[in-house]
Amino acid sequence: MSTVPTPTQAHVPVLVDEVVAALAIVPGETHVDGTFGAGGYTRAMLGAGAGRVVGFDRDPDSIANGPALVPDARLILVQERFSQMDRVLAERGHAPVDGITLDIGVSSMQLDQAERGFSFRDDGPLDMRMSQAGETAAEFLNHADEAEIARVIREYGEEPRARTVAKAIVKARPLTRTGELAAVIRKALGHHAGMKTDPATRTFQAIRIHLNAELEELEQGLRAAEQALRPGGRLAVVTFHSLEDRIVKRFLKDRSGAAPSGSRHRPLAAAGPAPTFSSVPKPVGPSEAELARNPRARSARLRSAVRTDAPAWRHKEKAA
């Protein structure tokens, strides 16, 4: 098992003050940290007076090291995907809850461990599995056909030259190390010192999102949060790129009744389901001070909302 940062090394999560403000924690409340990681948001929630925090993470390292990272009896750790939180919370008698926080994507803890294979900056095995189970990045890249690799890179990395990268990957197979993959991508796309963004960034992101089904997990997790929050409960979601942010934006727009409801060309056929969220402020980004402390925060966006007392929508249910 790989090691995670000790409590003194644990990173401070992005937008933590803004997240705590959006959660409006009342002492004694039950909150959920759906992406526990190194426990940064959990520490902040407990420090703000939460009576109990249920921390979810699919990564067994995070769960194993959680008690050392956050040595607090008010923390309950669960090794599970946050998309399953509604079921798990109900089974354990913790539902409904007062607040839910989600920090989407790979954690700094995972990026900083070369042996986990998430980063192109430090050489390590081509892994990228958050749960440390299932297909590895090496297995995917060495067995998928060129068209499938190109689709993943284009769809999840928004890489305009996805076909060029996929062709280079297939030609270079077998690949086993992150350093090998990064070198192949850089050669295919062109790379020189001083470039603002490493050419490998989009492809590494795409492969990671694909392997961990991150966008599907986010969509399911938002629906799970809708189920698990009490009326008046608060939801806070931090995203780091446009694919994630669009999903959260669309969900809150639909669930708050802000989605278009018809026109003279497409009249409203029937009243849709009642809004399940209200008080949806504009997204919040990092301050200049935070960017100076942590450049990784530059693309972070926080979207938040408050749960109404309307029943959760059924999976396929849409606003009219």
Burial grade of 219 (CB within 10 A; 0-12, 13-18, 19 or more): middle
Answer for the pair 296, 315: CB distance below 8 angstroms, yes or no. Answer: no
Strand duo 301-307 + 229-239: pairing = antiparallel
Which helix (H) or strand (E) segment holds residue 110: the answer is: helix 108-111
39 annotated ligand-binding residue: yes
240 annotated ligand-binding residue: no
55 annotated ligand-binding residue: no
For residue 306, is it left (φ>0), alpha (ψ between -120 and 50) or beta? Answer: beta
9 annotated ligand-binding residue: no
Q: Which of 303, 264, 307, 243 is nearest to 101 (CA)?
A: 303
Structural tokens at position 111: 């990026």
Mapped onto helix, strand or coil, the DSSP state of residue 238 is strand
d(CA 156, CA 26): 38
Burial grade of 158 (CB within 10 A; 0-12, 13-18, 19 or more): middle
CB neighbours of residue 212 within 10 Å: 19
DSSP annotation string for 116-146:
G---SSS--BS---SSS-S--HHHHHHHS-H
CB neighbours of residue 41 within 10 Å: 29
103 annotated ligand-binding residue: yes
Q: What is the DSSP letter of 32?
A: E
Bridge partners (DSSP) of residue 76 are 54
d(CA 285, CA 128): 27
| Residues annotated in a binding site for S-adenosyl-L-methionine | 39-41, 57, 82, 103, 110
Q: Which residues are annotated as a binding site?
A: 39-41, 57, 82, 103, 110
